[in-house]
Structures are given as C-alpha cells and as structure tokens.
Amino acid sequence: MKISYSVIMEDFLTIFGQRVREFRRQKGYSQEVLGELVGVSTNTVASWESGNVLLKKRNLEDLCKVLNVSPYDLFARPISKNKIEEGSVLYEILNKVTLLSIEEQKQLLEIVKTFL
C-alpha cells in the first residue's frame, strides 16, 4: 500500500498542532498570549493547532523558546498508553515518566540510551 505525501503531511501537521496545544495549555497560556510571546497573531496560533499550516523556522525557534521545549518535542508522536497493556512494565514506566517535567524526561532518556 502506497501512502501519499499529502497523507503524511496531514498526519505530521495534526501531530504538531496537538503538541503545540498540549504544551501551550501546560504553560497556562491562551492562544492570544502565546501569539504575543512568539510574535504572531492569535489566528496563526489557531492555525498551527488545527494542523492547517506549518510555521516558519524563525517562529519555530521562538515557539520552542517560549514553551521551553525542543523541536523534537513538538513533532514527536506521543506514545498512546491505550495501546499498552495495563499492568505491564512499560505501562508502569509510562505512568511514572508522565509525572516528570520535560527536562527530567530528557535526562531520563539520556540515561536509558546508555543501556541501548
């Protein structure tokens, strides 16, 4: 089965939009406040979050700085705990990791990489 470029981009933009919304809400920012901090309009932030448009490199740098995240954090697909068997070791690890800050999660990832 061949997947078209447009399907991949649509999925990519949807994930990006969800992640922007998630991190914005974690910071307690409205779309308007985030827009002001990044230097874009509220409509631009809404377009990012709805997956309608990809941002410019300069906006990405500013957005990451304001939200205190890396570009990877914005574009990575989060692991769904719904697909992991409840009670499994991985399920328990994910429950614990989600309690950590983004910085602590990054530090943990570096530790885990030493075992792989």
**What pLDDT sits at residue 42?**
96
106 burial (CB, 10 Å; 0-12 / 13-18 / 19+) is middle
Confidence grade of residue 12 (pLDDT, cut at 50, 70, 90): confident
Which of 50, 44, 52, 43 is CA-nearest to residue 19? 50
* pTM for the whole structure: 0.62
The domains found in the chain, sorted by start residue, are 5-75 (1.10.260.40), 81-113 (no CATH)
